[in-house]
Structure 1
Amino acid sequence: MTRATSFTTLRTLGQEGRNKQRGAATLLVTLVLVLAMSLGAFFLNRNLTLGQRLAANQVQAAQAFEAAEAGLDWATAQLNNPQKIGSNCQASSAASAQTFRASRVAFDAKSGLHTPRTWNDASQVMPLQAVCVRSAEQSGGWSCSCPASGHPVVVNRAAPATSTSTATSTEPATTTAAAAFTVTFLATSVPGQLRVVAQGCTSYAGACQPGSHTQADATAQVQQLVALVSGLASAPVAALTVRGDVSTHAALGLHRGNHASTGAAVHSGGKLEAPNARIGAAAGGVSTVAVIEHDLGLSGVNEARFFSRLFGTDAATWSAQPMTQKLVCKDNCNAALLDAFAATSGTVQLWVDGEFTLTAPLTVGSAARPVLLLVNGTATLNGAVRIHGMLHAARVQWNDDGSGAGRVTGAVTSASDYSGSGAPDLVFDAAALRLLQTNSGSFTRIAGSWKDF
């Protein structure tokens, strides 16, 4: 090999080595640039990712809060629903069914306190709860569970039930992605008040699935005090109270109850023209006669004022209360009255707009379930009609149809006069009137008591 050839070969090898070095350096620089760009993109997009996560959390928190607010509204509405319900919180005609209020809230007549009904979860006493779950389908709507005992149960459609499933048709069906709320009632030390606590969740889990150990993505709680606006603001003081005259030649029985201190026999703004009336105490009571007539406190007020003194509001507002059932009937109203009484539980408040007639034989109301019956017209009773509670009408007429004597245990009030050929026994019952005062009416929210903690 000549020297020239060797030199050429060495120069060629040197160029190839330098080319390889240049390629490796370029690759290294490229990798560094790519890594730097990736790191830059990561740090630039980190705020965007964080913002997206925060936005998603805010959406979930808002969803849970709105579910809790919906629970508060739903619970208040159900407390004022006079219809009996089943375990799915829907209207039920079953004999064992009760209203939402009666099934969830107990009432103590002595103290006037409303307290939540409870059940025993092993050794722990738990208040009865209700759960509602929002449907994830486009049709929307809520499915609810109001068990008479135990935790509310919801069928989870996310895990389809098999043929061996124990789920019943009364249990609401939903998916875990749907919003839900749980409602619980707490007692207070004030008669006529309740605390309503609503837990809202983004899914049927956590606090919205009582008895489970699952967790919802977001949970919110709101609570508010509700107070009972009584259907009978001020009870009458006599077995028969009329703004005008009492006029009858029948042997009308007017009794002040079983104790002399419980009330008067008759209280009228006009004259008492009842020469054959039997006035005094009921059987076993004190015979002291208590008759109040020509009272300007009655005759000196108009019909609207007389109504508001008794019921705390005007007739239109009272009849529009959610707990008030309106009767529609003309001649004989027996069936309509009994149907309305059977459709609810607890105390019953009824409104009739127009003339109203009851005919013997008929018995409605009891010591445990007195009826508050208001008639915006003449109430005509024929024969042995028996009512436990209070009857108020624009005018009262009781006729004798040969079926025997009727009876009202509680009180009768008339915005004008009382007349008729019948001889019923009208017995003042303070216990029945107190029960109507303290456990009839509608619950309403107390302003300023709302809180979300």
Structure 2
Amino acid sequence: MSTLFVVIALFFVTALAGAFANRHLLTELRVARLVGDDRRAQVAAEQGLERALTLMNGDSVDDECQATPSGHRSAMDRWIRPLDSGHLVSRRDAQDATVLLCDRGPTDDWRCRCAGDQAPVGRAAEATPSSSVRVALQPVPSQPGQLWLAAHGCAEASAGCAAPAPTADAAQGRGSQRRMQVALLPALRQVPSAALVAGGAVDLGDGMAVVNTDAATGGVALRSGGRLAGSDGALIGPNGARSGEQVLSHDTELAQLRPQELLRRLVGMSLDAWTRHPALRVLRCEARCDASSVAAVFNQGARFVWVDGSLRVDREVQWGEPERPLALLVGGDLDWSAPSRWRGALLVGGEARLSGGTGQARFDGGVVVGGGVRGDASVQIVHQAKLLRLLQHQVGSFVRVPGSLGAAP
């Protein structure tokens, strides 16, 4: 009996020692799981920030954030509302400010939903472990043209990502707050103060109309580095302006500038650097591009296009809207000979021939040509200061502000 009691006591001590050791092992496993979940949530948050930035510089997308050929809006149009002051704010309401919602699938692919008229809906948990991220936009009141991208990453499916965690330990493993400041690098650093700016000679033909009634810009309708020919009866400046004040011809400063230097003053950088804009769409054609090829790019949601070569527009087009101007740069010559309406900034590196064909061609905003210009009475070029300001506030590329990526405060 004494031996039995001793053996039972030894078994009891051994069980207590095993339970104590197992307690530490369970604690270590629990800590490891929380650390792993926190790491997955952090990776998801950073992935969401990069994904949102890519979409903001992209073309039209549907509700599943997939590129579409036409009929949809870009993420910029879906998510961001520019103010007249140049500040950017989110189109989403305060109750659900989510603009992007993504889940990591079983094969490490990310399936996303983009906010539009409605907020994106989260996905339910699947059999395999998952992670997700919600991204919202926050304004930067002190910095026009800048936004905060705020991401909330979770080590679970998005349907439960926004729900409060039941315990503090679970919250530590399920949520990671990261944010990144981005700034809009505009397509044009400066906008033309005249309706038509030409580095070479301008031939108005039988009366091409060039209009600038905005006295705040100086009221110059046409500025050229060469001679002025043709009928100038349709050159119009502000009310009360004296005859000749709406024209600056034989401008020695313009005449001395090469076409690339003239364009560089507007874009604020060399053309080689400018063509590396993330949001810029480059169009290259075998001989020269036509209206159909440019229209296809605009229909995909692009607002910022460079034609690497010459362009011929020989069919009717309607490009740009009053609240959605476009920027188009033609590296070579431009031959425009069709009834049309353009809203935005039109930049031409070579020569430009403008005509409305059998109808009227109207260009609202500003036209800048590195070489000479030849037009006729079927053409109207009207300086629109408000349109050009909108273009500066809306058209360009979003880039990361250096040193801004980090944990949310």
Q: 1:298 aligns to what?
A: 254
Contact map agreement 1:398 1:422 (CA 8 A) in 2: no
Change (3 A) 1:292 1:416: same
285 and 439 in structure 1: CA distance in 2 versus 1, 3 angstrom threshold: farther
Which residue matches 2:229? 274
Q: Distance in 1 between matches of 2:246 and 2:166?
A: 65
2:331 aligns to what SS in structure 1?
A: strand
Relative to structure 1, the CA distance from residue 332 to residue 36 in structure 2 (aligned partners, 3 Å threshold; closer, same or farther) is closer
Select which of 157, 164, 170 maps to 1:204.
157
CA positional deviation for 1:142 = 0.8
Counterpart amino acid of 2:109? G
Change in 2 beyond 3 A, CA 1:401/1:37: closer
Name the amino acid aligned to 1:86: D
Deviations 1:268-325 (A, max 9, x none): 2x2222241235327x955543222333433333333322210122223323323222
* 1:225 maps onto 2:181 in alignment: yes
Cα 1:286/1:272, change in 2 over 3 Å: farther
- Map Cα deviations across residues 9-35 of structure 1 (whole Å, 9 max, x no partner): xxxxxxxxxxxxxxx111111122222
CA contact (8 A) 2:42 2:153 kept: yes
- Give the deviation of 1:104 after TM superposition: 1.3
Residue 204 of structure 1, CA deviation: 1.2
Deviation at 1:344, TM superposition (A): 1.2
What residue identity is the alignment partner of 2:116?
A
In 1, Cα distance between equivalents of 2:156 and 2:144: 36
**Are 1:406 and 2:381 matched, yes or no?**
no
Contact 2:122 2:158 in 1 (8 A): no
**Structure 2 residue matching 1:322: 3-state secondary structure:** coil
Cα distance, 1:88–1:249 mapped onto 2, change above 3 Å: closer
Which digits, 9 at most, give the CA deviation of each residue in 1:388-407, with x for residues without a partner?
Answer: 21111112322557514422
Mapped to 1, the partners of 2:128 and 2:101 lie a distance apart of 14
Counterpart AA for 2:331: N
Q: Which runs of 5+ in 2 are unaligned?
A: none
The secondary structure found in structure 2 opposite 1:395 is coil
2:171 maps to 1:195: no
Give 1 or 2 for the bigger CA radius of gyration: 1
Q: 1:141 aligns with which of 100, 104, 109?
A: 109
* 2:97 aligned partner: 127
Give, in angstroms, the shift of residue 420 of structure 1.
5.0
Counterpart among 76, 82, 92 of residue 118 in structure 1: 92
1:436 shift after superposition: 1.0
Cα deviation digits, residues 145-164 of structure 1 (max 9, x gap): 22434442234363xxxxxx
Aligned counterparts of 2:278 and 2:20: Cα–Cα separation in 1: 59
Render the CA deviation track for 1:306-359: whole Å, top value 9, x for unaligned.
2221012222332332322233445561222222222217xx211100011112
- Residue of 337, 343, 346 corresponding to 2:294: 337
8 Å CA contact 2:70, 2:300 repeated in 1: no
CA deviation vs aligned residue, 1:195-247 (integer Å, no higher than 9, x gap):
11001111115773469999774210101211100011111111111223324
Task: Report Cα offsets for 1:162-203 as digits up to 9, x if no partner.
Answer: xxxxxxxxxxxxx57211000111122122111110011111
Does the CA contact (< 8 Å) of 2:311 and 2:332 recur in 1?
yes
- Matched ranges for 1:12-411 at <5 A: 24-82=1-59, 84-93=60-69, 95=71, 97-108=72-83, 110-119=84-93, 125-136=95-106, 139-156=107-124, 158=126, 175=127, 177-189=129-141, 190-204=143-157, 208-209=161-162, 217-256=173-212, 258-262=213-217, 263-268=219-224, 270-281=225-236, 285=239, 287-288=241-242, 289-329=245-285, 330=287, 333-344=290-301, 348-400=303-355, 402-411=357-366
Q: Which stretch of structure 1 is more off in the superposition, 286-295 or 334-343? A: 286-295
Aligned partner of residue 156 in structure 2, secondary structure: coil
Separation (CA, whole Å) in 2 of partners of 1:212 and 1:403: 68
Deviation at 1:45, TM superposition (A): 4.8
Considering only aligned residues, what root-mean-square deviation do their CA atoms show, in Å?
Answer: 2.8
Q: Which range moves more in the overlay, 291-300 or 184-193?
A: 291-300
Q: Which amino acid aligns with 2:323?
A: A
For residue 350 of structure 2, give the secondary structure of its aligned residue in structure 1: strand
Secondary structure of 1:225's match?
strand
Gaps of 5+ in 1: 1-23, 159-174
- Aligned partners of 2:52 and 2:163: how far apart in 1? 17
Q: Is the 8 A contact 1:225 1:450 kept in 2?
A: yes
Q: Kindly tell me: are residues 72 and 294 of structure 1, through their superposed partners in 2, closer, same or farther at Cα, counting changes over 3 Å?
A: same
In structure 2, do the counterparts of structure 1 residues 415 and 367 end up closer, same or farther at CA, with 3 Å as the change threshold? same
Give the whole-Å Cα distance in 1 for the aligned partners of 2:375 and 2:343: 20
Tell me, yes or no, if the aligned pair for 1:206 and 1:213 is still in contact at 8 Å: no
Asked if structure 2 preserves the Cα contact closer than 8 Å seen for 1:131 and 1:208, the reply is no
Looking at structure 2, the residues matched to 212 and 31 of structure 1 have their Cα atoms a distance apart, in angstroms, of 45
Alpha-carbon distance change, 368 to 253 in structure 1, aligned in 2, over 3 angstroms: same
Q: 2:278 is matched by which residue type in structure 1?
A: P
Provide the rounded CA distance (Å) in 1 between the counterparts of 2:305 and 2:68.
Answer: 20
User: Which range moves more in the overlay, 124-133 or 365-374?
Assistant: 124-133
What is the TM-score with the length of structure 1 in the denominator? 0.80
How many angstroms apart in 2 are the aligned matches of 1:402 and 1:44? Answer: 90
